[in-house]
Amino acid sequence: MRTPLVAGNWKMNKTVAEARELVSKLNVPMREIANVEKVLCPPFTSLPALSAMLAGSDIGLGAQNMHWEEKGAFTGEIAPGMVKEFCRYVIIGHSERRAYFGEMDANVNRKLHAALKFDLIPIVCVGETLDQYESGLTSEVVRRQISLGLADTDPAFATRLVVAYEPVWAIGTGKASSGENANTVLAQIIRPALSDLFGMEIAQSIRILYGGSVTASNASEFFTQSEIDGALVGGASLKADEFIGITKAAAQ
C-alpha cells in the first residue's frame, strides 16, 4: 500500500507574515486528517519560521528547488545541506524550472542524487507541454524525463522517490487533465518506465502524484484512480479551505 501524499507548491508567493497566517489556518485542521502525508513547499525565506510553527506536527516542509553542489561559489543558490536544516522534501525539475530557468534532465539527475545523499525525499516532476501533447509525444517525452532524470539511482533508495506527473498544459490553467487520462499516463508510461529502471516490485512501491489545476472540487476524480497516489498542488495550496479539502479527499 502506498500512503497518499499531498504537497502544496506555493511557488513565488507569500512573505513570511503571509506564510505564517496561512499555516495558522492549516495547522490544526490538517493535523486532524489521518493517513495522508502532508507537505508544504513555501519559498526558502519562510522555511525557518514555518519549521518552528510546525514543530511536532505531521506536516512536513519541502523546498521548491535546490542546487546539487554541497557548497561553494554559486551565487544565489541553496545547497542540499541548507535545505535539510528545515525540510524533509524537495521538489526537483518542476516544469517552471525547466521552462524559465533552463533546467535540463542532466541537472534534474544531479539534484536527485544530491537529495538522496542528504536523506531528503525528492519529488521529481515530469510532464509534456501542450505542443508535445498535441503532437502525440507524451510517452516519448515522459519516458525520456524519467530515464535521464532518474538515471543511476540505487534501487535501495528508489523506494523513497516520489514522481509527480504534471502535464504542463494543465498547470495554472484551470484546465486539469481528466482523472482517467492522468491515470493512463501513470499506468502505461510512468510506472513501466520506473519498472525498466528499478524492477516491477520497486516501481509498484514508488508514489506517483498528479499535478495541474487540482482543486478541492476535482481532487476526488484523481484520488479515486488506481495509480494516482496524491497531488502536487499549486494555486489551490495558497487557500486554506481548498488545500484542506484536497487533503481530506486524499484521505478517503
| Contact set with ligand PGA (CB under 6 A) | 9, 166, 171-172, 211-214, 232-236
Q: For this structure, is 227 an active site residue?
A: no
94 is catalytic: yes
CB 214 within 8 A of CB 6: no
Least distance to ligand PGA, CB of residue 172, Å: 4
Sequence-distant (≥ 6) Cβ neighbours of residue 92 within 8 angstroms: 65, 66, 108, 111, 112, 115, 122, 123, 124, 125, 149
CB 226 to ligand PGA: min, Å: 22
For ligand PGA, the closer CB: 31 or 239: 239
* Minimal distance, residue 210 CB to ligand PGA, in Å: 10
Closer residue to ligand PGA (CB): 62 or 80: 62
- For ligand PGA, the nearest residue by Cβ is 234
Catalytic residue among 37, 94, 96, 113: 94
Q: Is 232 left (phi over 0), alpha (psi -120 to 50) or beta?
A: beta
Q: In angstroms, rounded to a whole number, what is the distance separating the alpha carbons of residues 164 and 146?
A: 11
Which residues face 39 on adjacent strands?
Answer: 7, 60
State which residue, 128 or 166, has the beta carbon closest to ligand PGA.
166
Residue whose C-alpha is closest to residue 140's, from 177, 182, 188:
188
Active site residues: 94, 166
